[in-house]
A = this chain, B = another copy of it.
Amino acid sequence: MRTALCDRFGIDYPIFVFTPSEKVAAAVSRAGGLGVLGCVRFNDAADLDAVLDWMDANTDGRPYGVDVVMPAKIPTEGSAVDIDKLIPAGHRDFVAKTLADLGVPPLPADEDRNDGVLGWLHSVARSHVEVALRHPIKLIANALGSPPIDVIEQVHAAGVPVAALAGSAKHALAHVRNGVDIIVAQGHEAGGHTGEIGSMVLWPEIVDAVGDTPVLAAGGIGTGRQVAAGLALGAQGVWMGSAFLTAAEYDLGVRTAAGTTVVQEAMLAATSADTVRRRIYTGKPARLLKSRWTDAWDADNAPEPLPMPLQNILVSEAHQRMSEGTDPTAVAMPVGQIVGRMNEIRPVAEIMAELVAGFEQATRRLDDIRDR
């Protein structure tokens, strides 16, 4: 399974995997794909630097990339304390009451409170870019579309291509005009920030719109058959995320007695119908696991979610508390509809091997249908 992107990046398979876990990212790169480490969880760039040092030591010289979250329009800026003041008391009360109603335990008194994902802030995302460019990264992707032009130029000056997510052909064309090198066409099925156009319609539409710019198919891919579908529709590769949240190497979060996190337990149990697309995680529409937490925000008494970055700061301690709880029905987690197929913990190498074998099998089936 080789496309021009394999030659360009020096990878065996055109499989790009976004993951917040450096263990998973490194394993993907070692297995012949391109692991892309999500930076948004690093409020302190020094922590990212240390993790990238680890990546450098554990990828056997195979290429990897990073993913930043940089809104095109510069949102509210400032320190965590400044931003905190912009959150209405009614919203805080709703969160506190909801957690009490759901029976979510408080954090231990001696545990640090999560400040919320400051990676949405331009200043923090810029620090991620600075740090990443000190490492031998092969790709910087931006989860919120085109980064600012000066950032694209900075990354290009370092010889690194830029990828950007797009949920419509119009946005994809704007990215190309801004200098973006690779478009991640993110269909409605996808986890996290996603638009309304389904992968089946979106992927070929973006492929046709952007011409020579390579497109990665994202949203709904978890098996080799789905890789084949993405490449049949004209993509040069695939971009995956959700399917690796239940990888054996994934080690973020607090383990329960079962050896998994409470969020993983929730994902293993979920069907493809158990997601919702809501603004409650970041302030922009993102697909999340349906849970009693998302149900609470759907109730008549729930407030409207705040804009980015305030909403995530509002709910960050709640996320932390639910993640450290023991109730898989009360969690907050971005994941795509492919969650219905995430039914066991598997090593990255096994997931990758199925993608390659499943692709092969699907294309042989198509040959039979064509040549019969």
B-contacting 9-mer, from A71-79, A191-199, A307-315: A191-199
Q: Mark A340-371, 1 if CB is under 8 A from B, else 0.
A: 11000000000000000001101101110110
CB-CB under 8 A from A202, the residues of chain B are 272
Name the B residues within 8 Å of A219 (CB-CB). Answer: 198, 200
Identify which of A30-38, A223-231, A260-268 touches chain B. A223-231
Task: Kindly identify, within residues 1 to 42 of chain A, every residue whose CB is under 8 Å from any CB belonging to chain B.
Answer: 1-3
Name the B residues within 8 Å of A365 (CB-CB).
231-232, 234
In the complex, per-residue mask of A180-213: 1 if CB is within 8 Å of any chain B CB, else 0:
0000000111000000111111101100000000
Take A189-B198, A223-B204, A273-B197 as given contacts and tell me if A370 and B338 are in contact as well, using a CB distance cutoff of 8 Å: no
- Chain B's closest residue to A275 (CB) is B196
Contact A2 B337 (CB under 8 A): no
State A107–B190 Cα separation when bound (angstroms).
45
Enumerate 26 A-B pairs (CB-CB under 8 Å) in ascending A order.
A1-B370, A3-B369, A187-B198, A187-B200, A188-B189, A189-B198, A189-B200, A189-B201, A196-B273, A197-B273, A198-B200, A198-B220, A199-B200, A200-B219, A201-B220, A204-B225, A204-B226, A205-B340, A225-B232, A228-B229, A229-B232, A229-B233, A232-B363, A232-B366, A234-B362, A363-B366
Residues of B near A85 (CB, < 8 A) are none
Q: Compute how far the CA of A348 lies from the CA of B127 in the bound complex, rounded to whole angstroms.
A: 56
Task: Select A233's contact among B225, B271, B338, B363, beta carbons within 8 Å.
Answer: B225
How far does the Cβ of A168 sit from chain B's closest Cβ, in whole Å?
6
Q: In the complex the two chains form, what is the Cα distance from A157 to B117 in whole Å?
A: 63
**Contacting pair B370 A201 (CB below 8 A):** no
- Judge whether A338 and B225 touch: CB under 8 Å: no
Chain B residues with Cβ below 8 Å from A69 are none
Candidates B2, B204, B338; contact of A372 at CB < 8 Å: B2
For the complex, give the distance between the alpha carbons of A367 and B363 in Å. 7
User: Contact check: which of B204, B221, B367 meets A367 at CB < 8 Å?
Assistant: B367
**B residues near A205, Cβ cutoff 8 Å:** 272, 340-341
CA distance A197 to B290 in the complex (A): 14
CA distance A291 to B221 in the complex (A): 32
Q: In the bound complex, what is the Cα–Cα distance between A240 and B80 (angstroms)?
A: 52
Closest to A340 in B: B205
Name which residue of chain B comes closest to A229, CB basis: B229
Q: How far in angstroms is the closest Cβ of chain B from A356? A: 10
A299 to chain B, nearest CB (A): 17
Closest to A217 in B: B200
Contact B272 A201 (CB under 8 A): yes
Q: How far is the CA of A233 from the CA of B228 in the complex (A)?
A: 8
| A341: chain B residues within 8 A (beta carbon) | 201, 205
Give the residues from 258 to 304 in chain A that come closer than 8 angstroms, CB to CB, to chain B: 271-273
List of B residues within 8 angstroms of A204 by Cβ: 223, 225-226
B226 x A369 contact (CB < 8 A):
no
Q: In the complex, A1 Cα to B3 Cα: how many Å?
A: 25
Residues from chain B with Cβ under 8 Å of A228 in the complex: 229, 232-233, 366
Are A273 and B168 in contact, CB atoms less than 8 angstroms apart? yes
Chain B nearest CB: distance from A309 CB in Å? Answer: 26
Q: A133 CA to B369 CA in the complex, in Å?
A: 32
